[in-house]
Chain A
Amino acid sequence: GAVVSQHPSWVICKSGTSVKIECRSLDFQATTMFWYRQFPKQSLMLMATSNEGSKATYEQGVEKDKFLINHASLTLSTLTVTSAHPEDSSFYICSARDNVWAWGSPLHFGNGTRLTVT
Chain B
Amino acid sequence: LAKTTQPISMDSYEGQEVNITCSHNNIATNDYITWYQQFPSQGPRFIIQGYKTKVTNEVASLFIPADRKSSTLSLPRVSLSDTAVYYCLVAFYNTDKLIFGTGTRLQVFP
Contacts and interface: CB of A to CB of B under 8 A. Distances in A.
Interface of A: 4, 6, 32, 34, 36, 42-46, 49, 91, 93, 95, 103-104, 106-112, 114
15 contacts: A6-B43, A34-B98, A36-B100, A43-B101, A44-B87, A44-B100, A46-B97, A93-B44, A104-B49, A104-B91, A106-B34, A107-B46, A109-B44, A110-B43, A112-B43
Contact of B100 (A43, A106, A112): A43
Provide the main secondary structure of the chain A interface: strand
Given A34-B98, A49-B97, A106-B34, A43 B44 contact: no
The 6 A-B pairs at the shortest CB distance, nearest first, are namely A109-B43, A111-B43, A44-B100, A43-B103, A43-B100, A109-B44
Provide the main secondary structure of the chain B interface: strand
- Size class of B's contact patch? 20 to 34
